[in-house]
A = this chain, B = another copy of it.
Amino acid sequence: MPDIGIIGAGVAGLHLGLLLRRHDIPVTLYSDRTPAQIAAGPLPATVAHHAPTLRREAALGVGFWPADTYGYTCHHHYVGGPRPLTFRGDFTSPSCGVDHRLVLPALTDVFQDRGGELRTGRVAADEVAGLAARHDLLVVATGRGPLADLFPRLDGPGSATAPRRRLCAGLYHGVAPAEPKGVTLSLAPGRGELIEIPLYSGHGHVTALLFECVPGGGADALCSLDQRAGPAAFDRAVRAELAAHHPTVFARTDPARFGLTGPLDLVRTAITPTVRADWAELPGGRYALALGDAHTVVDPIVGQGANTASYSAEVVADAVLDAPVLDELFCRRVARRRAEVVLGAARWSELMLRPPEHVRRLLGAMSECRSAADEFTDNFGRPDRQWRLLATPERTRAFLARHGVLPG
């Protein structure tokens, strides 16, 4: 039975660890932080898990926040402009947003209860080869941290040289959920997008507001405001941004209660979309495999990073179970098996950050065709399928024609 080392205890590392432990495969997880430190730390992201990820978690017995209570069933859309569009799209199975500061420590506990070994301490780049020698395979699941540089960045689809958005994501009180409970995707052309997510956190049911700010577009002022120096001014600025550009969300705010849930519940960052090589050969003939954000980072515009990381963990676990030896052929197989979904997510995310004509037209068409909007929404759980529908104008035309929308 192979012995697997995993660096990084995010969703990628933990889902892989749990999937392998289900088959009693020895796993050691190296994490720079204890579960308690993660739980008490700053908001890492505002993550929604889509149906395939939720199913994976349920199958692993870690579906602690069932979607019928904690989840939501649809996307509400608002597209600003001279003639604003609003429309809804339904999932066939709900999605669910839970603060990863709750999720990850809970999963780490289960991982240890099931015989997984957790070692705390930051792994330095020059320690990787030594660690690899202790395991049959080393998986690098360290997120956007520097260890990912072990895997050369691949130019080409999905990779960019600079962030396309500056992100300001936080948890807020005082926003009533949309009806039916759902995510709102609110687009302010030229300025950026707002993704509003009903999310369960240590404060109970709260609202995540993720501003995707076009650099220099105006909304990015939120990314430099000093929240700690002036919490009230920060809250006012956020609400003013909603008022001016995201009216359907603004309409649900309660001025008396609106505000960030706490100074730790804010993350401001910017992501350079990056696709990396799937694996690296290490001195000594062992292999390191990239997983999750360490393999491919996407802007969260359509919420794909964590879901893809979980999918990829399943591909790796299945391949480990099937492989006689964890050699280059094994790595190559993992690469081939996950490429469609991982690259689909990357290319679809890229497309939404700079929507070409046919994608902008699609939004208009979906505002008049509910079944197309439903399919588009459901495909948040199938990014490869979404990419296949949107990749070219012809494909999007055929997708719409299937829903009875003729080019006009």
A binding-site residues for B, Cβ under 8 Å: 322-325, 327, 329, 333, 336, 339-340, 385, 388-389, 391-392, 394-396, 398-399, 402
Contact = CB atoms under 8 A, between A and B. Distances in A.
Nearest to A324: B398
A385 B318 CA distance: 13
Contacts of A388: 322-324, 329, 333
Copy number of this protein in the oligomer? 2
A266 to B, nearest CB: 40
11 contacts: A322-B385, A324-B389, A324-B396, A324-B398, A324-B399, A325-B394, A327-B392, A327-B394, A329-B391, A329-B392, A336-B336
B325 A392 contact: yes
A391 B324 CA distance: 10
Main secondary structure of the interface of A (DSSP, over half): helix
A398 B336 contact: no
Q: What 10 pairs between A and B have smallest CB-CB spacing? A: A324-B398, A324-B395, A325-B394, A325-B395, A325-B398, A324-B399, A329-B391, A324-B389, A336-B340, A327-B394
Nearest to A329: B391
A389 B322 CA distance: 10
Nearest to A319: B388
Given A325-B395, A327-B394, 7 more contacts: A322-B388, A323-B388, A324-B388, A324-B389, A329-B392, A329-B395, A336-B340
A394 B333 CA distance: 17
Nearest to A385: B322
Nearest to A328: B392
A407 to B, nearest CB: 14
A204 B43 CA distance: 74
Contact of A336 (B327, B339, B389, B392): B339
A391 B396 CA distance: 42
A398 B389 CA distance: 42
A350 to B, nearest CB: 15
A306 to B, nearest CB: 24
A389 to B, nearest CB: 6
Nearest to A401: B324
A133 B41 CA distance: 61
A398 B322 CA distance: 12
A232 B329 CA distance: 51
A320 to B, nearest CB: 13
Nearest to A394: B325
Contacts of A385: 322
A112 to B, nearest CB: 29
A395 to B, nearest CB: 5
A396 B324 CA distance: 8
A327 B396 CA distance: 13
Contact of A333 (B322, B340, B396): B340
Contacts of A323: 388
Contacts of A325: 392, 394-395, 398
A33 B402 CA distance: 37
A228 B333 CA distance: 50
Contacts of A333: 340, 388
Query: Which of A324, A325, A329, A392 has the largest count of B CB atoms less than 10 A from its CB?
Result: A324
Query: Which of A325, A327, A336, A395 has the largest count of B CB atoms less than 10 A from its CB?
Result: A325
Query: Which of A329, A396, A399 has the largest count of B CB atoms less than 10 A from its CB?
Result: A329
A232 B399 CA distance: 65
A235 B348 CA distance: 65
A392 B325 CA distance: 9
